[in-house]
Amino acid sequence: MSPEFTILGITIHWYGIIIALAVMCGVLLALKLSKSLGIDQDSIIDFALLAIPMAIIGARIYYVVFQWDLYKDNPISVLYIWEGGLAIYGGVLAGILAGIIFAKIKKINFWQLADLGAPCLILGQAIGRWGNFVNQEAYGRLVTNPAWQWFPASVYISNALPGKQGWYMATFFYESIWNFAVFIFLLTYIKKRKRKGEVFLFYLILYSFGRFIIEGFRTDSLYIANTSIRSSQLLSLILFTLGLTLFISGRIREAKKASANQDLDIVEDTLVNSTLDEQAPEKQIEETRAEDLDGKEDATDALAEEE
């Protein structure tokens, strides 16, 4: 499949179409989920207008930082985004920053907005990975065993370096399937969350876990300086740890809060029962007096009748 086609002399890239489709699906899903999370649809559109450009810029900056040797001799080429060079993690980080800014401006709870955005983001990532298939990129190690030389176990790369064409691990496909699985989980969990922010934290935990493993098989990873450390693996580890820590600490706080409320209920019940016990003798005396009074009135009535 050719990565591009021409209409009326205009070259159109399949990668761009797939990314646009991914963004559109994410926005439509956000509009559908917004009502259940108490966020109006106009705010969703406003947020998309802020987050999408910031995500593209962030994805470009992330890529350029780790591939600066490709741009240092011609810095203006950093702006040639149509030539490729976007890193999803840069887009994710920029999107989170956009969410923080937007929530502050609109006075919306950030965690509520993040919970809404998480399933939409992972859906877009799952769809967007197919752009790598069209461009024949983001593939993994060479597959030499003929038994595994079939798609989707592996993918044939024809535009590799001379003499390097062949079957490679279809890591873009692995990640796409993992992202779809995470998307289904988040879409289900969003109705069962116990605290605001848990859906987003699960996104960080699950996406980072899958990305860390799959990234280890890729042959085009971005590395930190002159080390053998893959930037995406390191960031995955950081986000996974952060997400898990925040999730566990949140649950602990919730458990302590529930325990404190339960203790408060017990104290209140004890005080109420104690008060009732103190009032019981007084009530008994009043009831006895009332009974005696009724008895006297009955005796008086009886004497009156006899007379």
pLDDT tens for 243-282 read 999 999 999 998 888 787 776 656 666 666 665 566 556 6
pLDDT per position as a tens digit, 106-119: 999 999 999 999 99
The whole-model pTM stands at 0.82
| Structure confidence at residue 305 as a pLDDT band (50, 70, 90) | low
149, part of any domain: no
pLDDT: is 129 or 259 the higher one?
129
What gap in Å lies between CA 221 and CA 274, rounded to an integer? 69
| Structure confidence at residue 303 as a pLDDT band (50, 70, 90) | very low
Give the chain's domain count.
Answer: 1
Q: Which pLDDT belongs to residue 133? A: 92
109, part of any domain: yes
Q: What per-residue string of b and e applies to 38-72 under the rule 16 or more CB within 10 Å gives b?
A: ebeeebbeebbeebbebbbebbbbbbbebeeeebe
What gap in Å lies between CA 64 and CA 174, rounded to an integer? 25
CA atoms lying within 13 Å on the CB side of residue 200:
19
303, part of any domain: no
pLDDT per position as a tens digit, 186-195: 999 998 898 9
What gap in Å lies between CA 49 and CA 27, rounded to an integer? 10
54, part of any domain: yes
Residue type for 253, please?
A: R
User: What are the residues whose beta carbons fall under 8 Å from the beta carbon of 221, sequence distance 6 or more?
Assistant: 215, 230, 231, 232, 233
Residue 98 has pLDDT above 80, yes or no: yes
75, part of any domain: yes
pLDDT: is 294 or 157 the higher one?
157
Q: Say which DSSP state 168 is in.
A: E
101, part of any domain: yes
Q: Which pLDDT belongs to residue 276? A: 57
Q: Which pLDDT belongs to residue 265? A: 59
User: Environment class of residue 184 by beta-carbon count within 10 Å: exposed (0-12), middle (13-18) or buried (19+)?
Assistant: middle
Owning domain of residue 237: 4-138+174-260
Q: Which pLDDT belongs to residue 214? A: 97
What gap in Å lies between CA 143 and CA 306, rounded to an integer? 118
User: What are the residues whose beta carbons fall under 8 Å from the beta carbon of 15, sequence distance 6 or more?
Assistant: 3, 84, 131, 134, 135
Q: Which pLDDT belongs to residue 268? A: 62
Residue 147 has pLDDT above 50, yes or no: yes
| Structure confidence at residue 216 as a pLDDT band (50, 70, 90) | very high
- Percentage of the chain exceeding pLDDT 70: 85
299, part of any domain: no
143, part of any domain: no
